[in-house]
Structures are given as C-alpha cells and as structure tokens.
C-alpha cells in the first residue's frame, strides 16, 4: 500500500527517467502527484454531430467508424493512417501519423467519441490525432493535465488512477476538519481528489475545485497570520509618550482626518507591547510621507532612531529633504545614505548612525548593508513596498531587536488582494486627499493628434508650467515594435523638434545615479521645461509645478501603473492634465483607457485591473516566500478569500499554535517549506 509521502517511483511505470521528468513538474511524492490538479477536462457527456461541430475548436464529436484505409508512407518517412467515419449528417476522415496502435483500436461498425479540432473544407471534415473513447463506455469526463517533455496527459491520468487505487485508506489526513467542511459544504480530501481527477460530471469537478481553492486560500491566510502572531511574541522598541501634537504644531498645514487616524494607529502600536507590522495604503498624493514623519518624530521623542528605505536614489533624496524640513524644527537630525555616498563621507555617516547621532537615516538598499549598524533603531519605514520583497523587509527588521515596521504602498490594492498579499500586516488606509486638489483631467488621444498636443504643451510651458513625457523604451531595440517610442530618440525627433527653444531633459534607468539626480534636481528646480523619461519617474517624485503628464504607448501599462504616473502631476494648485497617447485600435485597450479617463479613485482603478488583467500586476511585485495558488482565482474567488481569512482568524483564536489540528499543521509546514518560507516550525 502506498503512503502519501512515498516517492512516485513506487508506482508501476515510473523509472528513473520518468521520475526526473515528473520532478520537473514538481511531482516527487505521491501527494505531489495527487495535488497536480488537471488544468481542464474533456467532457464527453454531450457530443456534437459531425456537421454541427464548431470549426477548429476543441470539441467532442460522436461518429461511427466505417473503415480503415491501408497505411501510406508520406514525406519524411512518416506513416499515415486514415480512418473513414461519420454520421448521418456528414463524413469525417480521421488521421493519425506514425501511430498504428491508435488506428487499430478503432473498430469498423462501432461508435466512438472523438475529442479534438474538426477541420477540412466544405463537405470534407477531418480530425487529426483525436483522443477517443468508445461511445458506450462508462467514463463521461476525462482530465487534461499540463504536459512536459516526455510526460503527456494520458500518462499522468494513468499514474493518478494507480495512486488513487493503491493509496492506504487513511494515508490522507484531511487538513480541513469535519466541522469546517460541513460549514462550507466542502467534500473531504479523499473524495475531492477523486472528483478533481476522475469526475463523473461537471458538478463533481466544480465541487472539488471549490474545495481545493478554499484549502489554498485558508492555508495561505493561516500561514500569514501565524507569521504575524510569531512576530507578536517578540519584544519591540517600547515607547511611552506617543503624542503627535508637537509635530502637528510645527507643520505649515493641518493633517487630513485620514492622516490623523493613521498616525493614531501607529501611536497605539508604538505604545503596545509588541512590534508594529503595519501597511500604510494610500493613493498617490494622499500624504503618506507626513504619516511616516509623525512616527519618526514620536520615535525620536522616545530616544529611538528611525530608518526610511526608498526604492530609488531620487526618491531617497527627496524624502530626506522633505523629512528634514518637517522634522528639523523638532531637532531631529536626518542623514541620507545611498550607494553613491562613498569614502570619507560614508565613514562619517556610518559612525553617526552607530553613535545614534543620526536620528533618522533615509536611504536606498544601501541601508541594508552590513556596515550599517544602528545604536538603537526603533522604527523602520519602507516606502513603495511593492519594489521590496518579504526577505528585504526581514533584513531591515533584523537591524535591531524587532523594530516597529511601517510599509507604505502607493499602489492601491483591492481589499481581497491585500488580505492575500499582506495578510501578515495590519492595514491603515489614507482614503482622503489633502484639500485643494483638483482632479487631474485625463484624456486619451491617438498619435495623429500629437502635433496639437504639443501646441497645448507649449502653452502650458509658456504659462510657467512643466511637463513629463513617459516613453516605454530607452533606445530603439531590435525586434521591439517600431511604433514603440524610445525615449532617447523621442527627445530628439519629437520633443525638441516640436518645442524649439524649450529646455528638454532626458531621464532613464540606464543613466548613472549622479546623472539622474542632476536631471531630477534641475527639473524640480524649474530648469527643465519638459522631461522625457522612462517609468523611473513612476515612483514618488514630487514636482508641484509639473502640470501635464503625457504617456506614450499608454496601452503597454496596467491601469494601476498609469494611475501612478498620473499621480506625478496634480500636486500643485493649478489644473493638471494627463494625456494617454495610444494608437492601439482595440476594443479592450480603448475601454481600459476610457475607464482611467473617468476614474480618479486608485482603489477603483486597481479593482478594474484585477478584474480585467488578473492579479499578475500585483503579484509580480511581491517576491516570493509564499506558496503559489494553483486552483484559487483571486479575481473570481474574492468572496472565498474573505471567508477563508475569517475562518483562519477564528481558528487561530481558538487554537493559536494549531496543537489540536496536526493534519493542518503538517499541511502548512509542507506548503510553506516548498515555497521557501518559514511560517511554521
């Protein structure tokens, strides 16, 4: 009898070579095999007739075999096997190459169900190498698996069948217990495995899929909540007086209600017994920096250092300046540490950090370096989190005995997704923009209007405003579509030609950091009228005098990314514009851009992306350490995510370390181990 953890080599038909090929699919143990769910099914239950079969679309056709033609040798030495079949509506020629055994299994006079694509011209229908079953057989659904070199779907189906029949009866402990399954009407593990691999009908396949989707989401939520509660056990940087009053008093404006709320949540965490793990979500321009600054001021008042990590040098520098302006009056000393600070300056900085003289260190990844030692770090802030992974956050937190951690994200994420991506964090949301903002007017145009658009840009510049133009490529790359605007060429052939006499700047990721700094500094100082850039300006840069954002080849970006870019303007009092340039004349692109034109709310934009482009835009930004979802669909299963999160919370409240749920504990350990994470010990 087989056990769950047995290697697949125990199964008949799996030698060393096959085992290696299976391993490429992630299948090493019997459990891996059983958890390798089909990607789809062939449903033999409602076949169509030959004439009505859709053209060149996978379908099941019922036909009677009339005769087998003698094999014929064709070019390349291949053998051709033809079988004539059909029904009362039309004839169907079935062709196999090099596989006599397939043709020989088709007996004249019998009916079969053929699965494949029907092609051929009028009056002459044909199928090449279809999969087939006798029409009077018992099986009505067949699983289709992802295939790889040497491993085809039929072989996998056979292996799974063997595993299912040879498994010890109690080899599978169900990670979902009876009451939970009963509550959500989920089939048990053994049943669900049979149903997902060998369903009798569509309903069984759907029920099984639903169960595994739930299991995935439930385990993911549990894993993240465990991560969080483990962090909770360790001591933080305890603080006693957390009053932002003095900080607020020194500001030139009054914080928004949302900012005050977020600061109060941080203050409460600071004064709690455990380290803070908090995500601050807020649309571009919602004023996240101020919230971080309030936290930094409170930490400093309690004698702790803070660190703020930004994804780019430009942004780090800007933050250092802004924070120095906000915190300087309170006597907080700010230091800027980036990769380009070298030699003696760097040494001086490092010793100021080590002595505690630098109370706030702002920097890029450089702050993660081993040479950077803090005297007493109490508060760590990560700006624009999506550029950092879980691991880097861990490194940052490791710079001290569990400092309070604030992660700031300007990519609004739909709630269900933030449960999945950031389930281990508490969340504060800035859902209110500072007063006096006029929404950015957004329009979509074709490149035919570029001349007129530049006329408009000229007027804006003449009125003293500045302009961003974002292009997708740095230089024209070979193979990239000619219609893609390369930023270097664009500057010379478009911007400089259409705006003679204006000061045009260039910014892209391949420039040296010092060059980028200089260009950005000049733009911020008003010495550049129009900045041609790649998406390096996407993140955080603040130039209040910029009033127009032009995005060339706008179809290339997700709406969330476009929304981010749009957020670079509209920061001052003047009316601002975002112009999306695209020649893609395709329904979905036009609809997408139109949606952005009429929607200012970043959360709505993110929801649209999630529904229309899937979660990739969000997931791609988070490096792993989390198990991947095989069955669950974060857009379609949104309600289930909420359910799973709630169930996970309830379970941990009753059984914090899962002592009473050994099967679940084991499943979690395997899941997070495979992903390289460490949710459970």
- Return residues touching ligand ADP (CB under 6 A): 253, 255-256, 259, 282, 284-290, 410, 434, 540, 542, 571
Among Mg ion, ligand ADP, none, what does residue 286 contact (CB within 5–8 Å per kind)?
ligand ADP
5-9 contact pairs (CB < 8 A, 24+): 5/29, 5/30, 5/31, 6/30, 8/32, 8/33, 8/159
Q: Quick one: which H or E segment has residue 653?
A: helix 638-654
Should residue 567 be labelled a site residue for Mg ion when binding is judged by CB under 5 A? no
Please give the size of the binding site for Mg ion, defined by CB under 5 A: 1
For the chain, how are helix, strand and coil distributed in percent, rounded to 5? 40, 20, 40
For the CB of residue 529, give the shortest distance to ligand ADP in the complex, in Å: 21
Tokens standing for residue 421? 């991506």
Closer residue to Mg ion in complex, CB, 281/359: 281
Would residue 129 be called left, alpha or beta, if left means φ above 0 and alpha means ψ between -120 and 50 degrees? Answer: left
Among Mg ion, ligand ADP, none, what does residue 256 contact (CB within 5–8 Å per kind)?
ligand ADP
For the CB of residue 318, give the shortest distance to ligand ADP in the complex, in Å: 8
Closer residue to Mg ion in complex, CB, 223/540: 540
**Residues making up the chain, counted from first to last:** 681
For the CB of residue 505, give the shortest distance to ligand ADP in the complex, in Å: 21
Closer residue to ligand ADP in complex, CB, 256/364: 256
For the CB of residue 566, give the shortest distance to ligand ADP in the complex, in Å: 12
For the CB of residue 286, give the shortest distance to ligand ADP in the complex, in Å: 4
396: Cβ contacts below 8 Å, ≥ 6 apart: 307, 309, 367, 368, 380, 382, 405
Q: Where are the alpha helices (DSSP H) in 302-443?
A: 313-327, 343-355, 390-397, 415-421
Angle formed at CA 664 by CA 190 and CA 657, multiple of 5 degrees: 165
Of 579, 556, 647, 571, which Cα lies nearest the Cα of 218? Answer: 647
Cβ–Cβ under 8 Å, residues 312 and 381? no
Q: Exposure of 16 by Cβ count < 10 A (0-12 exposed, 13-18 middle, 19+ buried)?
A: exposed
Angle formed at CA 380 by CA 246 and CA 254, multiple of 5 degrees: 30
Q: Quick one: which H or E segment has residue 530?
A: strand 530-533
For the CB of residue 384, give the shortest distance to ligand ADP in the complex, in Å: 8
Choices 539-547, 570-578, 579-587, 645-653 (CB under 5 A): range interacting with Mg ion: 539-547
Closer residue to Mg ion in complex, CB, 131/561: 561
Closer residue to Mg ion in complex, CB, 263/634: 263
Choices 94-102, 301-309, 534-542, 622-630 (CB under 5 A): range interacting with Mg ion: 534-542
Cβ–Cβ under 8 Å, residues 358 and 305? yes
Closer residue to ligand ADP in complex, CB, 231/411: 411
- For Mg ion, the nearest residue by Cβ is 540
Closer residue to ligand ADP in complex, CB, 55/253: 253
Identified binder of Mg ion from the candidate list 199, 311, 540, 570, rule CB under 5 A: 540
Please write down the HEC assignment for all residues of 46-88: CCECCCCCCECCCEEEEEEEEEECCCEECHHHCEEEEEEEECC
Among ligand ADP, Mg ion, none, what does residue 284 contact (CB within 5–8 Å per kind)?
ligand ADP
For the CB of residue 276, give the shortest distance to Mg ion in the complex, in Å: 19
Among Mg ion, ligand ADP, none, what does residue 287 contact (CB within 5–8 Å per kind)?
ligand ADP
Of 393, 398, 358, which Cα lies nearest the Cα of 375? Answer: 358
Closer residue to Mg ion in complex, CB, 410/470: 410
For the CB of residue 240, give the shortest distance to Mg ion in the complex, in Å: 29
Among ligand ADP, Mg ion, none, what does residue 204 contact (CB within 5–8 Å per kind)?
none
For the CB of residue 284, give the shortest distance to ligand ADP in the complex, in Å: 4
Place of tokens 């379908």: 59
| CA atoms of 518 and 506, how far apart (whole Å) | 11
Among ligand ADP, Mg ion, none, what does residue 307 contact (CB within 5–8 Å per kind)?
none
Closer residue to Mg ion in complex, CB, 412/540: 540
Residue ranges in 100-119 that form contacts with Mg ion under rule CB under 5 A: none
Among Mg ion, ligand ADP, none, what does residue 535 contact (CB within 5–8 Å per kind)?
none
Angle formed at CA 240 by CA 324 and CA 321, multiple of 5 degrees: 5
For the CB of residue 453, give the shortest distance to ligand ADP in the complex, in Å: 26
| CA atoms of 117 and 60, how far apart (whole Å) | 8
Closer residue to Mg ion in complex, CB, 130/540: 540
Among Mg ion, ligand ADP, none, what does residue 281 contact (CB within 5–8 Å per kind)?
none
Among Mg ion, ligand ADP, none, what does residue 86 contact (CB within 5–8 Å per kind)?
none
Computed from CA positions of residues 165, 167, 168, 173, in that sequence, does the dihedral angle turn out positive or negative? negative
| CA atoms of 406 and 88, how far apart (whole Å) | 71
For the CB of residue 616, give the shortest distance to ligand ADP in the complex, in Å: 24
Among ligand ADP, Mg ion, none, what does residue 363 contact (CB within 5–8 Å per kind)?
none
Closer residue to Mg ion in complex, CB, 409/553: 409
**Residues at the site binding Mg ion, with contacts judged by CB under 5 A:** 540
């Amino acid at each position: 009898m087989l056990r769950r953890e047995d290697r697949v080599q125990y199964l008949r038909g799996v030698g060393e070579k096959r085992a290696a090929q299976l391993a490429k699919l992630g299948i090493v143990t019997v459990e891996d095999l059983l958890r390798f769910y089909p990607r789809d099914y062939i449903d033999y239950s409602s076949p169509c007739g030959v004439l009505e079969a859709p053209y060149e679309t996978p379908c099941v056709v019922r036909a009677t075999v009339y005769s087998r033609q003698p094999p014929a040798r064709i070019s390349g030495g291949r053998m051709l096997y033809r079988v004539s079949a059909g029904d009362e509506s039309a004839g169907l020629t079935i062709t196999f190459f090099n596989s006599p055994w397939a043709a020989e299994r088709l007996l004249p006079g019998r009916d079969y169900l053929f699965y494949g694509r029907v092609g051929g011209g009028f009056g002459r229908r044909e199928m090449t190498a279809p999969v087939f079953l006798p029409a009077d057989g018992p099986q009505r659904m067949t699983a289709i698996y992802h295939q790889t070199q040497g491993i085809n779907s039929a072989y996998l189906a056979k292996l799974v069948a063997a595993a299912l029949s040879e498994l010890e009866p109690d080899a599978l402990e169900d990670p979902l217990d009876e009451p939970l399954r009963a509550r959500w009407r989920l089939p048990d593990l053994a049943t669900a495995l049979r149903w997902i691999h060998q369903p009798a009908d569509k309903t069984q396949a759907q029920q099984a899929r639903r169960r595994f989707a739930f299991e995935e989401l439930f385990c993911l939520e549990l894993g993240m909540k465990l991560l969080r509660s483990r962090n909770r056990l360790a001591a933080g940087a305890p603080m006693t007086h957390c009053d932002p009053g003095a900080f607020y008093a020194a500001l030139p404006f009054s914080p928004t209600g949302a900012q005050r709320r977020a600061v109060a949540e941080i203050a409460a965490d600071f004064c709690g017994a455990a380290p803070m793990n908090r995500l601050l979500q807020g649309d571009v321009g919602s004023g996240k920096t101020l919230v971080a600054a309030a936290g930094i001021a409170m930490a400093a008042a309690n004698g702790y250092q803070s660190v703020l990590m930004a994804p780019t040098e430009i942004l780090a520098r800007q933050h250092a300046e802004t924070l120095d302006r906000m915190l300087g009056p309170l006597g907080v000393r700010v230091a800027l540490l980036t990769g380009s600070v070298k030699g003696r300056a760097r040494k001086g900085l490092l010793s100021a950090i080590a002595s505690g003289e630098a109370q706030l260190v702002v920097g890029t990844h450089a702050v993660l370096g081993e040479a950077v030692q803090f005297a007493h770090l109490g508060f760590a802030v990560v700006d624009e989190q999506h550029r950092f992974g879980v691991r880097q956050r861990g490194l940052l937190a490791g710079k001290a005995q569990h400092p309070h951690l604030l992660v700031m994200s300007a990519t609004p994420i739909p709630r269900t997704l933030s449960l999945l991506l950031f389930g281990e964090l508490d969340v504060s949301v800035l859902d209110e923009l500072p007063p006096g903002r006029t929404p950015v007017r957004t329009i979509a145009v074709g490149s035919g209007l570029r001349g007129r658009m530049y006329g408009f840009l000229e007027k804006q510049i003449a009125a003293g405003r500045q302009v961003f133009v974002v292009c997708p490529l740095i230089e024209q790359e070979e193979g990239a579509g000619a219609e893609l605007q390369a930023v270097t060429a664009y500057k010379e052939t478009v911007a400089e030609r259409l705006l003679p006499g204006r000061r045009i700047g260039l910014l892209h990721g391949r420039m040296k950091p010092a060059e980028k700094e200089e260009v950005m500094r000049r733009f911020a100082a008003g010495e550049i009228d129009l900045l041609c850039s790649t998406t390096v300006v996407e993140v955080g840069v603040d130039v209040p005098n910029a009033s127009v954002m032009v995005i060339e080849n706008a179809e290339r970006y997700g709406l969330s990314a476009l929304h981010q870019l749009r957020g670079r303007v509209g920061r001052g009092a003047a009316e601002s514009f975002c112009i999306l340039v695209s020649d893609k004349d395709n329904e979905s692109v036009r609809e997408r851009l139109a949606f952005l034109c009429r929607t200012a709310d970043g959360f709505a934009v993110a929801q649209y992306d999630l529904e229309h482009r899937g979660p990739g835009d969000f997931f791609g930004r988070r490096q792993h350490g989390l198990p991947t979802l095989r069955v669950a669909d974060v857009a379609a299963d949104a309600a289930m995510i909420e359910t799973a999160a709630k169930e996970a919370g309830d379970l941990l409240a009753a059984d914090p370390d899962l002592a009473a749920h050994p099967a679940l504990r084991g499943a979690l350990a395997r899941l997070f181990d495979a992903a390289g994470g460490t949710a459970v010990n």
